[in-house]
Structure 1
Amino acid sequence: MRGSSTSVPIIGFSSPQWWEVFIVGQVRLRKHGDMTNTQLPAIITSSNVTKHYNQTYALAGVDLTIGLGESVAVMGPSGSGKTTLLHCLAGIIRPDEGNIRLLPTDRSAAAEITSLKEKGRTALRREVFGFVFQQGLLLPELTALDNVALAAMLSGLKRPDATEHARAWLQRLGLAEHLDKRIGQLSGGQAQRVAIARAQVTQPVVTFADEPTGALDSTTSTEVLSELLASTTGRGSTLVVVTHDETVAARCSRIVRLADGRIVSDSANEYAQNDQRAQNTQYVQNNW
């Protein structure tokens, strides 16, 4: 499956212009105007987001704006609120206070995530967001192909189209020889590539990843992270990744650090932006 466009919009290209249209499968991102590496159009904003369990604050008034096409690493010690923040942004749990807003794209309308009922938040998670977790959370009784196709069918595709899209993503991630294997027959790195394909087959606007390389060795971790970055920011969408690993964070274009439920630092990573630009260019040339 290849995208069609007159030019390819990759966040981080040296030109500040955003190309008018890029279509990959069902994704269509239209012109948002001029932008730079540090001035991307916002896709998710949070304001005064607070979450507590009993008397303990997991989040204590978090204000955060995430741009379209960014790769954002969320770091901090255990108990700092990283995963709670990811779950709130993704509509998995509701904050006790504050607002989280999804801004409009050609794939999704604007939404006040915090005010949506469960049905609405489920639709967002199924059709607009993608998820990659440390253990993959794949269905062991299904093949790699069926795991990915199921996600596409849940988003509304008919089985033949879902299978075609799933096959294309698995082939793109180097799993052409493993389509009919069950998850238990795959290595850890292969299984995590299936998880990436499952997350990306619906062409999500934002992908949330919680310790996606935490169970992998260093070499496989590097390979999987490269594929995750390229398959998200490489097509102009956003990646938010929770990690303890400084080497993972160093590959992201922005690093947000939490402590005691508050943001204590939020900085752009210019080196990663330049590296990501080159990798995204190569990825698109090779795969689209």
Structure 2
Amino acid sequence: MLVHSKDILVNSSDILVGVGLRHPHFTDILTSAKQVDFVEVHSENFFGPGGAALSVLNQVRETYPVSLHSTCMGLGSFHDIPERYLDRLKQLKQTIDPFLMSEHACFTWGLLQNKMQGQLIHSGDLLPIAHTRENLNRMCEQVDKVQTYLGRQLIIENVSSYVQFNESYLSEAEFLTQLCQQTGAKILLDINNIAVNSVNFEGGNIQQSITDYINILPVNSVAQIHLAGCSAVSNGQMVIDDHARPVSDEVWQGYQQALTRFGAVPTLVEWDSDLPAWSVLIGEAEKARAIANAILGASDE
């Protein structure tokens, strides 16, 4: 196991709060006063050499630390991550010098089994995996390989899932804990994903689901927190993690629990669909900071 990392954990009561930066807000972030501590972007959107998007990101990083959040690596895939993908990610890392690099505990890559058999394809989505020993061993191999190649520590995010696997013998929280213990990676705790899974598969007692989840994770295992909201559905319908609404009350309550357990962990507000005005997104970040200051300030007394 080889792990290289920057100092990503905040050891004081001060907390870093950021927002996910999407294309419609490029002008806003370049023309507005600094109101957040960092921004996060999807790595793959900046893989192309040159171009306007990468030019903007280079301008942004002059003022804001950047977190690279990847979505296509497929750490849980049984096919190796394409070398071309890793080369592009490493080049972006060298260009941007991110202070965090993250991915998801899922699979994305596979081989076609029809007349085009043998062609590697990408799913276009974050597909969940069964939490088995075999999948744990495979993901540990992939994480070790990527961390060694990039020379950086990875932060692994829990995912929203729309299926369950009978063969899972570990909970997701237990799976991620063992993954990090074996690889030196850390956890990106997405509280809304816990809420989505709670409604879809655990009876919808969101606060209990969040409490149970975070109490399994070791105190020093979480290096970042994601907050998001999703569209409401009718009773009995499956909730989709569409990042299209403000952070829900249940997720804010879960955030308080996470802060109490994990301390001043860098926190990001995600909003990907039905994007609001920049001021609305900043308002969500300010709410996160106010909650963190109240919780962390109280814990210091």
**TM-score exceeds 0.5:** no
- Greater RCO structure (CA 8 Å; 6+ sep): 1
More helix by share: 2
Q: TM-score, normalised by structure 1?
A: 0.40
